[in-house]
Structures are given as C-alpha cells and as structure tokens.
Amino acid sequence: MLNKYPLWKNLIILIALVVGFIYALPNLFPDDYAIQITGSRSSTEVDASVLERAVKALESEGIEVKDSSLQDRDALIRLTGAEDQLQARPVVQSALGGDYLVALNMAPSTPDWLKSLGAGPMKLGLDLRGGVHFLLEVDMDTAVNQRLEAMSSQIKRELREERIRYRGGDVEGRRQIVLSFRDEAQRSEAFDLIRDRYNQFLMNERTVDDERQIVLSLSEIEVKSIQEYALEQNLTTIRNRVNELGVAEPLVQRQGADRIIVELPGVQDTAQAKRVLGATANLEFRLEARSDANASEVEEFGFRDNLRRTARLEKEVITTGNNVSNAQQAFDENGQPQVNITMDSIGGDQMHRATRSAVGRRMAVLFIEFRTETENRMVDGEMTEVDKRVVEKSIISLATIQSALGSSFRITGLDSIPEAAELALLLRAGALAAPMYFVQERTIGPSLGQKNIDAGVMSVALGFALVLAYMLVNYRGFGLIANVALTLNLMLLVACMSILSATLTLPGIAGIVLTVGMAVDANVLIFERIREELQGGAPPQSAINAGYSRAFVSIFDANITTLLVAVILFAMGSGPVKGFAVTLCLGILTSMFSGLMVSRAIVNLVYGGRKVEKLSIGGKLANV
C-alpha cells in the first residue's frame, strides 16, 4: 500500500522523538549562580558545620542565599544572581580559611526525575556562559633543583657501585653539587667517571681544608633546557589532567617563559578542577634509615594521617613519581583503598637495584605537595593578604620489603577511597616536572557581551520564523507538515548535543542557524518533485511516493558532501571552529532524519491509506 509505514518504523520514529523530547527538556531549566566549597586536600571533608558557617557569613553581609546543600564531600550554595556570586566568594573564603577552597560555579536546576534518566542541559562555552580562567606560574628554580637532586642521587649511587669513597654530594647554593674525596686517586677516578657519563656539568677541582673536591655546576644552556622541559612537560600534564576531568573544548597554552593559561568552558566542578590542575602530587620512594646512619644522611618526616608520628628516612631517593607510567585505584585483601603502580623501564630498574639488597628493610612512600596559602601580613602599615608558597612532605606508606621490587607494586595506607582515586588520577595523568602556583583565577563572562548573546539567540529565532513562514506560504498544508518536522529537528539537535555533552559556543549558534536553513532543503526538493509529478498527471498518492523516493538520492548526496566538510573542520580545527563543526555534523544527521522520515511519517498519517482528491501543496491542486 502506498504511503504507509509499517508499525515497527512508526514505533522507531516515535521512540526517537520521545527520547529527544526528554533529553532536550533540561535546557528549559537554567542553571543557578552558586559557590562551591571543597576541602583543599582530598582528606578534608565539608560537613554541616562548615556549611552553616558559610551561610551565616553570607547573611551577615546581606547576601541572599537561595539554597544550600551538602553533596558528597563538598557543599553548594545557590545564589540569586551573578553579582551576589562574585561578592559571596571572598566572604566565604575569609570565613573558612585556607583549609577549604571556594570556587564560583553554575549549579544545574534540572529536576531529579530527569537527572535519574541521565538527562542534562548543554554546556555553554566561554563566549556564552563563561567558565574558569587560570593563570599558573611554573616554579623554575625548583625545577632545576629537582633535576639536580635526581642527578646527585644517581651520581652517588654510581660512585658507590664503583667503590669510590666520597663525602657530601648534596645540592648546594648556586646550583652546584660538591663531592669531597680523601686522596687524589679517588678524586681522579670519580672525575673521569662523571665527565664520561654527565656531559651537562661544568666540572672544577679544588682543595679545601686538605679535602680534594669536585664542583659540578650546570651550564646556562643546560639550565634553560631544564626550564623549557619543565614548562613543556607541565603543559602536557595539564592537558592530560583536563582530559581526565572530561572538560569539553578546553584551552591550555603557554604564556611567556614560565606561565600557562588554562580556560575551562562550561565546567561544573571548578573546585575539583583547581585542586587537580594545581596539585603537584609527586612521590618519592626512600628507604627507612638504619639506626646507626649518619645524621647528615637522614631526614625525619611525619605521617600524613598523623603528623605527630614520624619516621627517619634516607636522604637518597630511589625513584620518583616522574617514572610512573600507570596508576589505578583498587582495594587490598582487607577492603582498604590502595593504588596499583606501574613504573617505566628506568623507574623499574632503579626500584629493583635499590630493593634487591634491602629485603627485610622498610621502604617509605613520601607524598610531596606544593600549594599556596593566604596569610595576613603588615605591608606599608596596612594589613594585606599575601600568598605564601608551602611545601609539604609526608609519609603515606611505610612497609617492609618482602622481596626485590620491579616495575609493578602497590601503595597502601591511604585514608579514603577519594584520596586513592585522586592520587591515581594525578599519577596516571603525569607528574608535573615542577610545582605550579595559581597567579590568577577568574570567571570569564560572555566575551561578546550580553547584547551579542541575545542577538545570537535572536538570529536563530528569526531565521527559524522566516523559514516557517516561507514554507507555509509556498507549500500550504505540506509546508505546515515541514514546519512540524523542522521544529522536531531543532528539538532532536538540542537533545543530541545534550546527550553528547557538547559545548555550545557562539560559532555553534551559527551552525544551528545554518542547520535551520539547510534542514528545510530536503523538504523543498521533495515537495517540488511532488509538484512535478502532479503537473505530469500522476495521482496524488503516486505523486507523494515518487516525490520522496526519487528525491532521496539528491538529498543524500548533498548532505554527505556537507557532512564530509564538517568532519574535516572538526579534525583540523580547534576551539570555536570545532564548536561550529560539531553543531553542523549533528544538524545534518538530525535534518536528514526529520526531513526524510519524520515528515514522511506525518504525510503518511494525513494522506496515507485513503482516497485523496487533492493535495494542499501550493501551485496546481491535483484532483483525482
């Protein structure tokens, strides 16, 4: 029978439209302006008393609180507008102190029943809703010192393996390593070994108080090389961490010689982003010092879960988190959280060489954290908030070595599952080559201003209205059908972008405007074909069938070529270009579905399976 879909095809179309409606619906519920409170460390929880202090601080400043709630390990306070949001953050941060991070956020207002179905609104880019902008500074001095310390440990290990007796070897001021020897023969042998294996050093010999010394200094070229590597490695690591956070269309780029810009559009959990991006969650693996060890070769550290409990560790580092190739959060046999570590070949070799002769001794995992704290200081006679850079080193695990370790082992003794998961994320994404500090943090408003945003939305509405009017005037009843299909197409496009968590930008709006114009092309081709069939004397049912079947090839070819261009734009472009390409790709797919299947289903519902005397399609009316 002409112009009748089988039941299964009608059901597929109906299901697609219902699903599209459900997943497009959250976009009708705008996000609330909010601030989010999170512990500055993963082990710091936000409880009801912390939330109460924050709310009272806001109320005392006359800032209206729309709603407040605890969410897992953090808290969310909803506010009435953007101005209240900007005023609220410093008020709450001052009230809670440095143990907590207070970040600007946009809190979704999607109803719970939609959330239970996994539905959520589209993310808006920096140029529409804004996002978070971070400016980070890489600590270049620490980068050089860390490299020197690693080289120092390796040089001392090789001297011991060659049975060359020495003293010192620690990194001293002016980026130098000083080694002392008892006799000339030992110094000469060490000089030849270091010169052959470490050509990055400038080497000098001197005698001080009857001690023959070798002074190793980094050349300026080597210093610049280390600093450049630190910046590039941190860029790579930040990009990996952004990917772990799942942020769409981020911007991560260097600025000058020692700074990195990070922009996160449409990000929800800005507090977590700040903690993860800025954390220098590196590890050092050290042996516990022997009881008779020389005091100059020993350091004492507290445990992370109890700083009053301490252990004495050797200064020499076995290996660091820089050699971690993979890390996964897991559980031990007692159900306690742990992190399974896989080292690269260098780290695995260093671990094996150090532990094969240390079976029965204990090895510590030292957690190193660089962060910035704010303190009040008197500057020029006024009390001013000043950022202070803090380095914290604490033991997270101290376990007995049962056998020689290799490339794979585990870290236990972690406080909680979130702490284990975050440590695994940071190590998996890559260790920072040097600490980074937040120089600037701000929320980006719409780059083109609210008027231009309104103009962008208006362009979609105006273009949509003009297309609807043209189709209705030119094709009458069939134009009305096309308009219904076009409206459903826009709904499906929004639903697809929401399901895929695509970020809508201003170029993306341009893609929607273009899609609205292109979506009607299919119906124009079909309707003109139907007119031609009617003018040729075909009966209405045959004309409808011929219009859809014979126009399909032209519609398919035209859309495929445009789709290929959109795919190339997505692959080759970046930022706004990708936003445009994503919208265009999805728009082409949904417009083909709505133009070919949805409109055909409506036409079948209106005309199919019955005797039709004339078609309301404009131009010549066909009579049976």
Q: Which CATH class is domain 131-278?
A: alpha beta
φ, ψ dihedrals at 430, nearest 5°: 115, 140
Listed in sequence order, the DSSP H helices in 500-539 are 506-535
Give Cβ neighbours of residue 489 (< 8 Å, ≥ 6 apart): 515, 519, 590, 591, 593, 594, 595, 598
Of 132, 121, 96, nearest to 250 (Cα)? 132
Category of 390 on φ-ψ map: left (φ > 0), alpha (ψ -120 to 50) or beta? beta
Place of tokens 């970020």: 503
Chain mean position to CA 28: 26
Residue 238's identity, in one-letter code, is I
Cβ neighbours, 10 Å, residue 409: 19
Residue 553's identity, in one-letter code, is V
Instruction: Write out pLDDT tens, residues 583-593.
Output: 899 999 998 89
Place of tokens 């050699």: 323
pLDDT above 80: residue 416: no
Instruction: Write out pLDDT tens, residues 38-91.
Output: 876 656 778 888 999 999 999 999 999 999 988 877 888 999 887 788 788 889
Residue 153's identity, in one-letter code, is S
φ, ψ dihedrals at 127, nearest 5°: -80, -5
pLDDT above 50: residue 623: no
In the chain, where the domains are located: 7-26+449-607, 32-107, 131-278, 281-416+425-430
Instruction: Write out pLDDT tens, residues 154-197.
Output: 888 888 888 888 888 777 766 788 899 988 888 899 999 998 88
pLDDT of residue 249: 58
Tell me how far apart the alpha carbons of residues 461 and 487 are, in angstroms, rounded to a whole number.
11
pTM of structure: 0.57
Q: Give the pairing of strands 211-218 and 123-124.
A: unpaired
Tell me how far apart the alpha carbons of residues 47 and 96 are, in angstroms, rounded to a whole number.
12
pLDDT of residue 243: 66
- Look up residue 160 and give its two tokens: 């011991």
Residue 458's identity, in one-letter code, is M
Place of tokens 């590196």: 282
- Look up residue 318 and give its two tokens: 């076995």
Tell me how far apart the alpha carbons of residues 103 and 54 are, in angstroms, rounded to a whole number.
13
Q: What is the mean pLDDT of the chain?
A: 82
Give Cβ neighbours of residue 461 (< 8 Å, ≥ 6 apart): none
> 433, 341 in Cβ contact below 8 A?
no
Tell me how far apart the alpha carbons of residues 137 and 259 are, in angstroms, rounded to a whole number.
4
Burial code of 197-232, b = ≥16 C-beta within 10 A, e = fewer?
eeeebeeeeeeeeeebbbbbbbeeebbeebbeebbe
Region 7-26+449-607: CATH code? 1.20.1640.10
- Look up residue 342 and give its two tokens: 């896989």
State the fold for domain 281-416+425-430. Answer: Gyrase A; domain 2 (3.30.1360)
> 21, 495 in Cβ contact below 8 A?
yes
Q: Do domains 32-107 and 131-278 have the same CATH topology?
A: yes
Cα dihedral sign for 39, 45, 50, 51?
positive
Confidence of residue 11 (pLDDT cuts 50, 70, 90): very high
Instruction: Write out pLDDT tens, residues 481-535.
Output: 989 999 999 999 999 999 987 778 778 888 888 888 788 888 888 888 888 888 8
Tell me how far apart the alpha carbons of residues 165 and 180 are, in angstroms, rounded to a whole number.
9
Tell me how far apart the alpha carbons of residues 314 and 404 are, in angstroms, rounded to a whole number.
18
- Look up residue 180 and give its two tokens: 């002392």
DSSP 160-215: HHTT---EEEEEETTTEEEEEESSHHHHHHHHHHHHHH-TTEEEEEEEETTEEEEE
pLDDT above 80: residue 205: yes
> 535, 280 in Cβ contact below 8 A?
no
Category of 308 on φ-ψ map: left (φ > 0), alpha (ψ -120 to 50) or beta? alpha
- Please measure the distance between the N-terminal and C-terminal CA atoms of the chain and give it in whole angstroms: 17
φ, ψ dihedrals at 449, nearest 5°: 85, 155
Instruction: Write out pLDDT tens, residues 537-561.
Output: 888 888 888 888 888 888 888 888 8
Specify the long-range contacts of residues 442-451, CB closer than 8 Å, at least 24 apart.
Answer: 442/132, 442/133, 443/86, 443/104, 443/130, 443/131, 443/132, 443/133, 444/126, 444/130, 444/131, 444/132, 444/133, 444/263, 445/82, 445/130, 446/127, 446/128, 446/129, 446/130, 447/126, 447/127, 448/127, 448/506
Instruction: Write out pLDDT tens, residues 324-376.
Output: 778 888 888 888 888 888 888 888 888 888 888 889 999 888 888 766 666 67
Confidence of residue 15 (pLDDT cuts 50, 70, 90): very high
pLDDT above 60: residue 244: no
Residues in the chain: 624
Stretch 275-299: mean pLDDT = 80
Tell me how far apart the alpha carbons of residues 613 and 543 are, in angstroms, rounded to a whole number.
12
Place of tokens 């409109």: 599
pLDDT of residue 429: 60
In this structure, whether the domain defined by 32-107 belongs to CATH 3.30.70.260 is answered with yes
